[in-house]
Structure 1
Amino acid sequence: MSSSRARAWVAGYCALLTLIIVGPLAGSGYLLLRDAVSTPRSYLTDSALGLGAAAPRAVPQDALLAVLSPVIDGGILVKAILIVALWAAGYGAAVLVRRFLDAAVPAQLVAATLALWNPFVAERLLQGHWSLLAGYAALPWTVLAAVRVRRALAPERLGAWAALAASFAAAGLTPTGSLLAAIIGLALVGRRALVPAIALWLVSCAPWLTATALGSGAEPSDPAGVAAFAARAEPWLGTLGSLAGLGGIWNGEAVPASRTTPLALVATVLLLAIVALGVRAVWARGRDGRTLLIIAVVAIVLPALGATPWGLAVGEWLVVHVPGAGLLRDTQKYVALAMPAYALCAAAACQSGGRWFIRRSADGQPSKDESSLVAAFFIALLILPLADLAWGVGNEMRPVRYPGGWAQAVEKIDGPGDVAVLPGGMFRRFPYSGTAPVLDPAPRILPNDVLQTGELRVRGYAVNGEGNRARTVEEALLAGAPPTTLADLGVGWILVERTTPGPLGDAEKTLAATQLVHTDDDLALYRVPTPTLRDTATPTQRHLSTAAHLLWVTLLLTALLTTTLRRR
């Protein structure tokens, strides 16, 4: 098989697996599942720039959607990014093993399967972390780019640095993805290139670093979140076993059904057995293989330690005393760093499996048919115990349609003032969104800033958010305060979402004294007269944040273009 044809086969296989996973999203509608909120259009508010009261956790993701969604429907954008990310994760793992191990197509398919078909992908899909999966997808490409930078001769250096810049920028769609890529890239890039690589990474994460540096009024994260978001032990596995099997997300509801049965143990044992068969070969490949294996071990052990009493104490101290340390509280997501090493080990195991378990052909090497048989066996071992990852993780991921009242509410908001929402709280259960709780779509679908407390209830913990003004507004609204009180707090609009449960308190007293501008079966919108403008950010802060976003997107596009032209 020619090289180009082989690559086409691998690329097609990755596309097939991706479509099997996200098949239901091919229909019309929007992704609305737990933390995933896609809307027809979003707006470039202060919150989208990372300048709201909450920590900038969705920067530059929200700004990117706000800029592009007037041209391309926001639901299509989110689904396209997710599909491309999953495909890139699988194909990147295949390219990684081809270049590191000179792996044939069957071994590449095993690596691609492991990268795509694992509990980490399933659980993050169910949690709605589509943009985190973009950072996950960038990891094998970051490995390849960092090694190229270290080894490149003068004529190839521009292409190598462009590839690393593209990997950092693509992973930088969210702060966590940026950190994942930085750990991998900076560990492999080599001592001589370390300083410029750090500088390049800092440029790639300019949006969220700028938002953090500007302060934006955000308070430190609640230390209670450290225990709430710690890695979780799955049945029959314990915390360490769950993490080693690429599972263990903090939310026990965002897991496939198979992970609540003995199949979780079976899947983990089979995965680790395949990986273990290839460890020796990867270690023998030298510095890069050993570095990736060490990173994998650390990425599993540290989150497990972080779930112990003393680990929780350390995490709480960091969250209170170190700005931005709230990014570290969901420790299980850093298990993603094990994926490149796992993919290499699985491919190496497939290669050696032909020698260990299959009879040899006349020339003393496994035949193509025999190698394919080993690969098919390994692929089955990876897929079958987690079969419910297929078709939207058991059809949990399916597109929804927003009632027409949302578009009408958007049109009615034609004046200044922030938006307060009822019922209280951040999560909703709409009749059209399924049984899982979903983040309130109001902040991403309305043109004005929406005040949210950021308060979460996770595994019995009440985790306070950073939105102090939002908390004051919500308390006043639930207490039935007069509209003038809300106006003094900068509120110009009150949106009542009628079809979701939640606390309403005595808000009817407030609503009775305000102007109803829109009502239907799903929503009611009220105008609060003469709100006092309380901008979260100054014009200078907005200009700086906008410049940081432009720097990020310029780096991404320039790096991708340069990489493409250099390859051609």
Structure 2
Amino acid sequence: MRAAAERWWAPAYGALLVLGLTWPFLVPGEAFALRDMVVFDSMSLTRASLGWGDLAARNVPQDALLGILPKPVVFLRMFMVAAAACGAWAGYRLGRSPFGRAAAMTVAVWNPFVVERLLQGQWSLAAAAWLLPLVALGAHPMSGLAHWLASLTPTGALAAAAFARGRRGLVVTALSCAPWVVAGVFASAPGTSSAAAAAAFAPRAEKWVGTLGSLLGLGGIWNGQAVPASRSTGCALFGIALFALLALAWRAVPRRWLLLAAAGFAVALASWAGLTAPLVQHVPGAGLLRDGQKWLILAVPAFVAAAGALDRGRALAATAFALLQVPDAPVAVAALTPTSVEIPTVDHRGRDVFFESRPALMRIDGHPVADPAPKAMNVVESGALMVDGVAVDPPSQRWAVAQAALAESADPARLRELGIGVVVHADGSVTFTGAPAQPMPAVGVALFGLWCVVPLVLCAGNHTRVKTATFQQLSRY
């Protein structure tokens, strides 16, 4: 009787959790645009999407994949719901009792980390957090696929690599990280940032719990505007209570998961203390550390496993605390509902486009949104970033030189030397410099192609293991 009851309550409860956070992705609409998230159906494969543009390869290979799909918006809808469902299912698998399974499912799906990252528009990072418990399970055939999908963003790729196992895990790690690692080494952008950026992106304190308390509940994102309203009313206190309960079950968590959780907290705390600033400023690729709070993603599998090991009373309390620390999550994620974006009409024909005065951030439906133009065409991007009125990232070198050339004489020859084929002026007029379209980087295309074939590698590996197991069984006779 109990098994029969569990067969219906677990899927029903998991569906409620998943729909509670992903319902905006099921609402009809033509585009998704909120802060860092800009997804629409006319996206294109560009050099920047492969990591070989003017800026660091932060959106590789996610933008490249969206650029080749015929319906990126449909993919995003399906992917986000599926990723959340994977988190719920992995939580169920990690639970040791019906109440432990409910607690683990709740902690895996419904936590401040994914809600805040969704509101920041970092959809692939939120999805990676949902997928990571499934990656950590390792032995399941879907773990490799979850590893691959988590690698849509560099942070997700590294987090999944940390939990990967065996030779298959090494192969998937190498293929999934290669597009942005190689681009970061050989492309023009070094992947560093500034000390001011490290300070601006440090974890943030929340009401009544401070910065440390925020981190203990997997909250504390740097941007206070990407946080549900309940976090400013003291609901973060439930995160501390949840952490205290989960700490009681630490012996049930695999040691490797505990060490990785400790590493994630160490990076976040180091960012809070300002210790990552020298690395972010001087070490190529260390720009990945400037947003230290995002490395709490490494603690998600340990939290889920601990929740799954709790006894009945503690598991019920953990479930309640997990829900109460972000009780208004379904209301907060309403900001993700589809909207429309306007793409500038430019006869670029594959040539690089320079917009003289187009802002990198614009307002759509009252929300700040990254400029969609670089996702539809090859654009000379500035990359300059202001946080609370402080310049934390300077503009890219090519953009600065082009802007100076326009200010001096608007000489087409100088712009042509920079590889710029089309200039869109502040008054809307257009200048064609005669520069041809630049070819796609062969290395970038090849590495992205290898990333795309990872599922085939996984299928081949699973087929080989099945054949080996069958041969071993037959050999007994």
Tell whether 2:286 aligns with 1:325: yes
Q: 1:490 to 1:559 in 2, by over 3 A?
A: same
Q: Give the conservation status (yes or no) of the 8 Å contact 1:221–1:464.
A: no
- 1:236 pairs, out of 208, 211, 218, with 208
Distance, in Å, in 2 between the alignment partners of 1:23 and 1:2 is 30
**Deviation of the 1:252 alpha carbon:** 1.4
Q: Give the SS at the match of 1:221.
A: coil
Distance, in Å, in 2 between the alignment partners of 1:143 and 1:96 is 10
Distance, in Å, in 1 between the alignment partners of 2:64 and 2:35 is 20
Q: 1:4 to 1:428 in 2, by over 3 A?
A: farther
What letter corresponds to residue 86 of structure 1 in structure 2?
A: A
Tell whether 2:366 aligns with 1:426: no
Q: Give the conservation status (yes or no) of the 8 Å contact 2:107–2:304.
A: yes
Deviation per CA, 1:349-383, whole angstroms, max 9, x where unpaired? 2x2527xxxxxxxxxxxxxxxxxxx63x5433322
Distance, in Å, in 2 between the alignment partners of 1:308 and 1:444 is 35
Deviation per CA, 1:148-180, whole angstroms, max 9, x where unpaired? 3xxxxxxxxxxx6x6554343222111110111
Tell whether 2:113 aligns with 1:120: yes
Q: Structure 1 stretches of 5 or more lacking a match?
A: 98-102, 149-159, 355-373, 496-506, 512-523
Tell whether 2:262 aligns with 1:294: no
Q: 1:182 to 1:264 in 2, by over 3 A?
A: same
What letter corresponds to residue 79 of structure 2 in structure 1?
A: I
Distance, in Å, in 2 between the alignment partners of 1:343 and 1:78 is 25
**Deviation of the 1:348 alpha carbon:** 2.0
Q: Structure 2 stretches of 5 or more lacking a match?
A: 471-477
What letter corresponds to residue 425 of structure 1 in structure 2?
A: P
Deviation per CA, 1:419-442, whole angstroms, max 9, x where unpaired? 22354431111xxx2222110011
Equivalent pairs, count: 465
**Deviation of the 1:307 alpha carbon:** 1.6
**Deviation of the 1:461 alpha carbon:** 3.1
Who is 1:222 aligned against?
A: 193
Q: Give the conservation status (yes or no) of the 8 Å contact 2:25–2:80.
A: no
Q: 1:92 to 1:563 in 2, by over 3 A?
A: farther
Distance, in Å, in 2 between the alignment partners of 1:106 and 1:548 is 45
**Deviation of the 1:560 alpha carbon:** 5.5
Q: Percent identity?
A: 35
Distance, in Å, in 1 between the alignment partners of 2:116 and 2:46 is 30
Q: Structure 2 matches for 1:148-159, cutoff 5 A?
A: 148=139
**Deviation of the 1:8 alpha carbon:** 6.0
Distance, in Å, in 1 between the alignment partners of 2:336 and 2:90 is 24
Structure with larger Rg: 1
Distance, in Å, in 2 between the alignment partners of 1:124 and 1:2 is 37
Deviation per CA, 1:376-431, whole angstroms, max 9, x where unpaired? x543332234221014x25222110235xx3xx54x525353122354431111xx
Q: Give the conservation status (yes or no) of the 8 Å contact 2:119–2:333.
A: no
Who is 1:546 aligned against?
A: 445
Tell whether 2:182 aligns with 1:179: no
Distance, in Å, in 2 between the alignment partners of 1:28 and 1:480 is 47
Distance, in Å, in 1 between the alignment partners of 2:158 and 2:11 is 27
Tell whether 2:208 aligns with 1:268: no
Distance, in Å, in 2 between the alignment partners of 1:228 and 1:304 is 14
What letter corresponds to residue 210 of structure 1 in structure 2?
A: V
Distance, in Å, in 2 between the alignment partners of 1:60 and 1:54 is 14
Q: Give the SS at the match of 1:110.
A: helix
Distance, in Å, in 1 between the alignment partners of 2:396 and 2:60 is 17
Q: Give the conservation status (yes or no) of the 8 Å contact 2:262–2:299.
A: yes
Q: Give the SS at the match of 1:28.
A: coil
What letter corresponds to residue 62 of structure 1 in structure 2?
A: D
Who is 1:55 aligned against?
A: 56
Who is 1:100 aligned against?
A: none
Q: 1:302 to 1:218 in 2, by over 3 A?
A: closer
Distance, in Å, in 1 between the alignment partners of 2:21 and 2:384 is 32
